[in-house]
Structure 1
Amino acid sequence: MPKRSFRRPAVDTAVTAFERRIAPLLEREPRSAAGRRRVAQENDARMCDALDIAILDVATEEHVVPVADHPDVRVRVYWPSALRAEPGAELPILLYFYGGGFTIGGIDWVSWDARFRERARDAGVIIVAADYSRAPEVRFPAQPEQCWSALEWVHEHAGELGGSPARIAVGGGSSGGNLAAVTTLLNRERNNRPIRLQLLENPVVDLTMGHADMAGLTAAIPGVIVRRVGRRLVRQYLGGRPGAARSPLASPILARSHTGLPAAWICTSELDPLRGDGEAYARALSAAGVPVSVVRYVGQTHTSLGWNRFIPAAAEAHRAVIARLRTLHDDAPEPSADAA
C-alpha cells in the first residue's frame, strides 16, 4: 500500500493577497502595552479608511455599568436599524466581548464598531458590546467580573432596550471568547439567568497554553515565538499570581464541570494556534451534554475571518454567524422531562 503524504497546511490565497494589500498601511507596534495599544488602534483606523469599511447607520446608545470592587464597564447598544427598538419588541440580544489578547482592542475601534453594526442589521438582533478593561493597567479578575456585570445589566434592562430576556446570547472573539465562556460559568454559579447560545470565535480557553496547536504554523512563524508572545500576554493579564492560569475564570476549559452551560457554536481557523483551544472546548462541552457545533475554516489565520468583504471564507463565516443568531428569533424549546 502506498504511503500517504501529508502536506503542511497552506494559507488561503485570498488571505495572502489581503495581507499583502494591508501591509504598507501598518506601522510596527512597540513592545510596551500602552504603546502597542495606541499604534494598533491607529493601524486599525488607517486600514479601515483605506479599505473603505462601511459604517452603517444604526441606532446606538451608551451606558456605564457599575461593577462591585472593580472599575465600571462601558457598554454600547446597537439596534438593527436607524430607529431604536420600542420596549416590548422582544428582539434577541447578543452580549459580545471584543478580542485583543486582553491588552488591545475596544468598542471604539473602527473595525469592531463596523462589525457590530453589520451583525445587528443582518441578524435583526440587538448587540450590546462591552468595553472591558485592558491589561496590564487593569488585571484579572476584574475583566470576568465586568463581563458578568454586563450580563446582569442586559437581563435587567432587556425589556426597555426592546429585547427579550428569554432570547439572550453571549459571544466573543479570541480573548473575548475566553470572557464569554467564563461569563457563562459565572452565570451558572450565581444567578443562572437564561442564556440561549454562546458564540465563540477562535476562543482562547486555556491560559496555561496546554491546548495550543502549533501544527498549522508556517516556518516563517516558529511555534516557540508564538508561545513566547502568548506567555507575555498571559502575564500581562494575570500578573504574577501563582496558579492563576489554572483558575476556571482564566481557563474555562479547566472547570470541574461544564454541565448546564448554554448551547455553543464555535469556529476555529486551521492556521491559528488557538484552533486547539476551541476544538478541545467543543469536545468538553459535548462530553458534558451541552449541544455544540464547531466549524474549522481551512486556510484561515487567527484574524482573517474578520474581513468578510475581502476574503470568501470570512464572508461564509459571517453568514454562518448571522444564521446562528437568527435562530434566537425562534421561541425557546420547552425543556424535556429528562432535562428537568
Structure 2
Amino acid sequence: MTVRYPPLPFDPELAAALELNKNERTVLDSPAAIPQMRANMAARQIPLSDITGDGTITASEVDAPGPRGPIPLVIGRPADAPADIPVLYWLHGGGMILHGHKGRDLLVLKEIALALGIGFVAADYRVAPENPHPAPVEDCYAGLEWTVKHAAEHGFDPARVVIGGASAGGGLAAATALLARDRGGPALLAQLLMYPMLDDRNDTPSAHQMAGTGVWDRTANEIGWTALLGEARGGPDVSPYAAPARATDLAGLPPTFIDAGSSETFRDEVVDYATRLWRSGVQAELHVWPGAYHGFDTTAPQAELSRLASEARLPWLRRVLG
C-alpha cells in the first residue's frame, strides 16, 4: 500500500513573503524553464562595489585554473583583519544548473566575515546539463586546492579552512569534503551545509510530502538531478561524489553544521545524513526549522525564522574556529 503524507504548512510569515514575490520566481517544472531561471539569476548578480563600498571589506576577483578552464572566484576579507585569519570556502546554490557565485550569497558572506573576523572565497563551477557529473564537483575541488595553496597570499591560514554551501552548493560542499578525505587532499576544519542537495533518488517521505509546492519540489529536484546525472539518476551506480547521500562511509569527515526546513523536499535526506554522521563518529549540529521551505532565508531574509537560522550558524562557526 502506498503511504500518503499530507503536506506540511509553511510558517505564516514565510508564506506571506513567498506570496509577495511569486511573480518574480520561475518555477522549474520542465527543463525548458532552465534558460529563464539562468536569466533571472544573472540579473541578480551583485557588483563587488555593493559589498566593498562602505570600506569594511576588501574583495577581488581571481580565475583559478580548473580541470577544463578557469574557475571564477571572489576573495574577500575584513579590511582591518590581521594576517592568518580563517577562511570560508563557499559554493553557491542553483540546483546544479545555475551559476551564481556573485549573487546574494556575497552579502551573507560579508556579514559572516565581519562578525567573525574571517575571510571568504566564493567559487563558481561548471553546471549541468552542459557539464554533467563529475564536472561541477571537480571544479569545486580544484578551487579548494587553489584556496589552500594560495591562502597565505591573501592573508588566510591554510590550516583553518571551512567549506560551506547552500542547496546544490551544500551538496557540492559535502561531496568535495568526501573527495578531500578520500584523495588525501586539503584538511578541512569543518563543513557548513545549509539545506544541502544530497540524494538523487528523490524518494524520501519529505520529497513526496512537499511535491507540488513550487518551491524546489520533487519535480524540480528530478530535473536538477537528471541534468547532472542523466539516465543514471536514481539508479544503483551513482557516485557519492555526485550525491553524498550515496556514501556508505562518513567516518573521518570534519565537524558539520547542517540544516533544513521542516516543509521542504530535502528535510529527510538532511536528517538522515546528520544521523549517519553521528553514527560514524563525526560531530554534527542539526537544525530543522519549523515551517521553513527550501531557501527560506534567501526569499525572506527579514523573517523571524530566517534571522534565527542565520544567527544559529555563527556560534557554531565560532566554536569550530576556536
Q: TM-score, normalised by structure 1?
A: 0.82
Does the CA-based 8 Å contact 2:78-2:119 persist in structure 1? yes
Within 5 A, what are the aligned runs for 1:50-199?
55=51, 57=53, 58-68=57-67, 70-81=68-79, 85=81, 89-109=83-103, 111-199=104-192
- Determine helix, strand or coil for the equivalent of 1:63: strand
Alpha-carbon offset, residue 67 of structure 1 = 2.0
Gaps of 5+ in 2: none
Does the CA-based 8 Å contact 1:202-1:278 persist in structure 2? yes
Residues in 2 aligned to 1:245 and 1:130: alpha-carbon distance in whole angstroms? 28
1:303 aligns with 2:303: no
Within 5 A, what are the aligned runs for 1:288-327?
288-306=280-298, 309-327=301-319
Does the CA-based 8 Å contact 1:139-1:236 persist in structure 2? yes
User: Match of 2:273, as an amino acid?
Assistant: Y
Does the CA-based 8 Å contact 1:211-1:280 persist in structure 2? no
Match of 1:267 among 226, 241, 259: 259
1:10 match? 9
Residues in 1 aligned to 2:224 and 2:237: alpha-carbon distance in whole angstroms? 12
Flag the 1:245–1:115 CA change in 2: closer, same or farther, 3 A: farther
User: Match of 2:37, as an amino acid?
Assistant: R
Residues in 2 aligned to 1:79 and 1:187: alpha-carbon distance in whole angstroms? 24
Alpha-carbon offset, residue 179 of structure 1 = 0.6
Residues in 1 aligned to 2:6 and 2:34: alpha-carbon distance in whole angstroms? 37
Residues in 2 aligned to 1:61 and 1:241: alpha-carbon distance in whole angstroms? 39
Match of 1:285 among 267, 277, 280: 277
1:232 aligns with 2:230: no
Gaps of 5+ in 1: 1-5, 49-53, 331-340
- Bigger Cα Rg: 1
Residues in 1 aligned to 2:34 and 2:318: alpha-carbon distance in whole angstroms? 37
Does the CA-based 8 Å contact 2:17-2:299 persist in structure 1? no
- Determine helix, strand or coil for the equivalent of 1:59: strand
Residues in 2 aligned to 1:317 and 1:146: alpha-carbon distance in whole angstroms? 29
Alpha-carbon offset, residue 259 of structure 1 = 0.9
Aligned residues: 309
- Determine helix, strand or coil for the equivalent of 1:228: helix
1:51 match? none
Residues in 2 aligned to 1:216 and 1:291: alpha-carbon distance in whole angstroms? 29
Flag the 1:28–1:183 CA change in 2: closer, same or farther, 3 A: closer
Does the CA-based 8 Å contact 1:214-1:273 persist in structure 2? yes
User: Match of 2:220, as an amino acid?
Assistant: V
- Determine helix, strand or coil for the equivalent of 1:321: helix
Residues in 2 aligned to 1:135 and 1:156: alpha-carbon distance in whole angstroms? 28
Does the CA-based 8 Å contact 1:244-1:250 persist in structure 2? no
Alpha-carbon offset, residue 156 of structure 1 = 0.9
Does the CA-based 8 Å contact 1:182-1:252 persist in structure 2? yes
Task: Spell out structure 1 runs of 4+ moving beyond 4 A.
Answer: 24-30, 241-245
Alpha-carbon offset, residue 116 of structure 1 = 2.1
Query: Cα deviation per residue 1:208-266 (whole Å; 9 max; x = unaligned)?
Result: 22446136538x6399x933322221111223457586211111122231111111110
Alpha-carbon offset, residue 309 of structure 1 = 4.2
- Seq. identity, %: 27
- Determine helix, strand or coil for the equivalent of 1:9: coil
Flag the 1:174–1:312 CA change in 2: closer, same or farther, 3 A: same
Residues in 1 aligned to 2:300 and 2:112: alpha-carbon distance in whole angstroms? 12
Q: TM-score, normalised by structure 2?
A: 0.86
User: Match of 2:96, as an amino acid?
Assistant: F
- Determine helix, strand or coil for the equivalent of 1:232: helix
- Of 57-66 and 272-281, more deviation after overlay is shown by 57-66
